[in-house]
Amino acid sequence: MLVLGSDHGGYELKTAILEMLQEKAVECTDLGTNSSASVDYPDFAAKVASAVSSGEAQLGILICGTGIGMSISANKFSGVRAALVHDEFTAQMAREHNNANILVMGGRVLTPEKGKKLVEVWLAAEFAGGRHQQRLDKISAIEQKVIKD
Ligand code: RB5
């Protein structure tokens, strides 16, 4: 299950991506926003990131104007690896090396066509494991330490 969220700055791109995912019959849920009226991006980052953090969803997509606010917010949630990507290389690496469970993009940075392509690349890529798993384990250890401290 994949969940999507955006603020007003990402609404147009989210709509284009949702249409593409529905055409491809990918199981997904749109958690808003539902118009181009101004909203606060942390509210939608929290909806998507908490669904991924709890295991209710396996993957998420978040879009704001630049992607920056969404990535800062989503990475506060335990177990979330939210990656802000701008091109096909970073979209592929986000999965292969970082096993990113949330893809973040900027709706004011990418055209809808480019954004859709990055989603396709991220979904098709596979986590490489090995030394990259070791690094993700270190991120988890940092997360555990921060929570305890
Ligand atoms: C909203 O104007 C804008 O600040 C937001 O979409 C995002 O770019 C924040 O990082």
Q: How confident is the model at residue 146 (pLDDT cuts 50, 70, 90)?
A: confident
Give the Å distances, CA to CA, from 56 to 5, 48, 59, 77, 80: 15, 10, 9, 14, 13
What phi-psi label fits residue 125: left (phi over 0), alpha (psi between -120 and 50 degrees) or beta? beta
Distance, CA 6 to ligand 1 centroid (Å)?
10
The domain locations on the chain are 2-148
How many residues does this entry show for the chain? 149
| pLDDT at 47 (0 to 100) | 98
What percentage of the chain reaches a pLDDT higher than 70?
100
Residue 61 forms beta bridges with which residues?
4, 103
For domain 2-148, the question of CATH label 3.40.1400.10 is answered with: yes
Q: Indicate which atom in ligand 1 lies nearest the CA of residue 69.
A: 10
Give φ, ψ of 83 to 5 degrees: -120, 125
Q: What is the pLDDT of residues 84-101, one digit of tens each?
A: 999 999 999 999 999 999
* Mean pLDDT within 133-138: 98
**Stretch (H or E) spanning 60:** strand 59-64
86 is catalytic: no
- Is residue 147 over pLDDT 80? no
Distances (CA, A) of 132 to 63, 78, 94, 98, 99: 26, 19, 11, 7, 9
Mean pLDDT computed over every residue of the chain: 97
Rounded to the nearest angstrom, the distance between the alpha carbon of 40 and the centre of ligand 1 is 8
Nearest CA to ligand 1 atom 6: 65
CA–centroid distance, residue 59 to ligand 1 (Å): 22
Of these residues, 28, 86, 97, 132, which one is catalytic?
97
**Could you give the CA distance from residue 89 to residue 91 in angstroms, rounded to a whole number?**
5
pLDDT of amino acid 64: 98
CA 37, 40, 45, 46: dihedral to nearest 10 degrees?
-120
| Closest C-alpha to ligand 1, atom 8 | 65
State the closest ligand 1 atom to the C-alpha of 68, by its place in the atom list counted from 1.
Answer: 10
71 confidence band (pLDDT: 50, 70, 90): very high
